[in-house]
Every structure is written in structure tokens, then in C-alpha cells.
């Protein structure tokens, strides 16, 4: 997960360096009208970095999902036990308190369930073309970082 973030950051920095080496003469000579295509080129160069960042976010969500669900279930179970122990007003009040605690669990874990649904949707979408496209965008970070190092050398010398 950290690897994806670091690769994305290095790729974004390299994209900025490559972009500046390519457009600095063009933008200064052509004036304000040259900024629109130059910024479009920068966005194009940032696509692999964005893919690495998206991969890092997805991995983070998938790795923290079980702990989030476990924590929410533990809180709801303890609240239900407390409601059943209290039994103010008889068993009916205790059962209603347990149902209220279960309702709290559902409301608290709504975000976690949405993440689980998103993960299931991602797994469903992870067919071969999608997986190859994401892997291809992630692999493009390598040449972008190498080009960034070359651009840095050009800027320094």
C-alpha cells in the first residue's frame, strides 16, 4: 500500500519535471494561449500517478475493511449485552434495548458495508481487460520516473 503511494508520488514529481522540460520554451514563447494544451499534457502525464494512487486507496480500503466490521460488531454486541443486563421494566424493555443496539450497529457500520459493496463491485469489474489496463497504467510509472530523472539532469546541466 505504501509502495503504491510512493510510486505515485515519485511518478507525479517526475511527470512535473518532464512536463516542464518539454513546455517551458513553448509556453514562454507562445504566451497565455499555450497554457491550455500544456496543462492538458500535464494531466496526460499524471495519469499513471493517479492510477498508482487509486491502487493504494483501494488496497487500503480492502485491508482495513475486516477490522472495521469486527470493531463495529464488537461494539454492537457489547451494547446489546448491556441492554439485556439492564432489564429496566422487564424482559420486553431489555429486548427492545437489544434491538436498539442492533440498529446502532447497522447505522454505525453503514460506511463499512458500503466499502464492502464497493469491494465486491471492484472484484466483479476486475475482469481481464480492466486488470490489464490498471496494471499497464501502474507499469507506466517506471518509464515516467526514468524520464523524470533524465529531465532533472537536463534541468541541472
Q: pLDDT tens for the chain, 157 residues: list them.
A: 788 889 999 999 999 999 999 998 888 777 778 888 999 999 999 999 988 888 788 777 777 777 777 777 777 667 666 655 655 556 666 677 667 767 776 666 666 666 666 666 666 555 666 667 777 878 889 999 999 999 999 999 8
Distance CA 152, CA 21 (A): 9
Q: What is the model's pLDDT at position 147?
A: 94
Residue-range definition of the domain harbouring residue 82: 2-156
Give 71's Cβ-side CA count (13 Å radius). 10
Q: How many domains does the chain have?
A: 1
Tens digits of residue pLDDT in 5-15: 899 999 999 99
Q: What is the model's pLDDT at position 46?
A: 95
Rg (CA), the chain: 25
Distance CA 48, CA 34 (A): 24
Query: Do the beta carbons of residue 97 and residue 83 sit within 8 Å?
Result: yes
Q: What is the model's pLDDT at position 91?
A: 67
Q: What is the model's pLDDT at position 144?
A: 93
Amino acid at each position: 500500500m505504501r509502495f503504491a503511494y510512493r510510486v505515485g508520488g515519485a511518478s507525479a514529481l517526475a511527470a512535473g519535471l518532464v512536463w516542464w522540460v518539454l513546455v517551458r520554451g513553448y509556453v514562454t514563447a507562445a504566451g497565455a494561449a499555450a497554457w491550455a494544451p500544456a496543462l492538458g499534457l500535464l494531466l496526460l502525464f499524471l495519469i499513471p500517478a493517479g492510477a498508482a494512487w487509486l491502487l493504494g486507496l483501494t488496497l487500503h480500503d480492502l485491508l482495513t475493511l475486516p477490522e472495521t466490521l469486527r470493531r463495529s460488531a464488537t461494539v454492537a454486541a457489547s451494547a446489546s449485552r448491556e441492554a439485556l443486563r439492564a432489564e429496566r421494566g422487564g424482559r420486553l424493555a431489555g429486548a427492545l434495548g437489544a434491538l436498539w443496539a442492533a440498529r446502532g450497529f447497522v447505522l454505525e457500520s453503514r460506511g463499512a458495508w458500503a466499502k464492502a459493496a464497493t469491494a465486491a463491485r471492484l472484484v466483479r469489474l476486475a475482469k481481464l481487460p480492466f486488470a490489464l489496463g490498471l496494471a499497464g497504467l501502474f507499469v507506466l510509472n517506471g518509464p515516467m520516473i526514468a524520464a523524470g530523472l533524465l529531465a532533472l539532469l537536463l534541468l541541472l546541466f
